[in-house]
Copies of this chain bind each other. A is one copy, B any other.
């Protein structure tokens, strides 16, 4: 089978995550997330976030985290502001709308939402004939692999405060963002700036699971009711809890993301050196090179990856994703094969 750069959830799990799950498999634990393993994992997350009063809940996936939490934050007529490239708008099959809420999608630059676009969204929704904006949704890293800087996050926070908006961060790839060269913040900064965020485990070495961190006290109330109602309350909370306990021991969360980023960086730099153009330059584990059609076709013979978009009759942008498990020699193979393919096209 071809080596795949499709995504960062192609492999099951890092051995340490698997071992955590397999530890004492017949030990009896409390159900529905009230077990000791989940409690310890929540403590570990609160510690790394320096947010001792945060509520931490574990769910099985990102769309579930988004729809359960966002619906819990809104009254029926309230809406979410997101980038047009935002996952909830472009890639979740109307999961948010299915809970009754509109997403106000704004044009984004390199996947990022700006205070100016938030203000434009608020201004366009001034009265009872329109929804009212209530939550700002951002992804960190973004769906284009870019990362909000601390200054950008502070500006978004200030804008939210001015307009009475909650700030929600989708952290499906928060690990990759954290280990990016562009990250001048840590998880404690995130917890200080966002009202709610989630830390992605599925895409960073866990068997499965995301940790929702609710910082704002108003949003902590009754959240277990929302989890249960949306089918997100796992009978065996430990299954996800154990994953996060492993990830936040010995800096595993950080080291796995750092490896994925290093693979992507080597890919991106290697391609740049060949003169390849990019949709946007990424500092995380997703990269978006634009290649001639013939090169794309040739690479598809040996690798799996998504076509991101057709750029012209002769070129396409592809998406390459690396993971905690990507072997560096596969990166080098891909670079060599690309070099050959490009050379062939030019001959």
Contacts and interface: CB of A to CB of B under 8 A. Distances in A.
A13 B25 contact: yes
Contacts of A76: 71-72, 94, 98-99, 226, 229
A15 interface: yes
A81 interface: no
A202 interface: yes
A228 B61 contact: no
A65 B92 CA distance: 18
Contact of A235 (B9, B90, B130, B236): B9
Contacts of A99: 76, 98, 100
Contacts of A231: 61, 63-68, 95, 230-232
Interface string A76-118: 1101000000000011111101111111010000000000000
A335 interface: no
B91 A130 contact: yes
A173 interface: no
Interface of A: 1, 3-4, 6-7, 9-15, 18, 21-22, 24-32, 60-68, 71-72, 75-77, 79, 90-95, 97-103, 105, 128-132, 202-203, 207-208, 222, 224-236, 238-239, 325
12 contacts: A4-B28, A18-B21, A32-B129, A76-B226, A77-B226, A91-B130, A92-B129, A93-B131, A93-B228, A98-B101, A203-B235, A231-B232
Given A61-B234, A131-B225, A208-B235, 16 more contacts: A6-B31, A7-B31, A11-B27, A11-B28, A12-B24, A13-B25, A63-B228, A67-B230, A71-B76, A77-B228, A91-B130, A93-B225, A97-B131, A98-B99, A208-B234, A230-B231
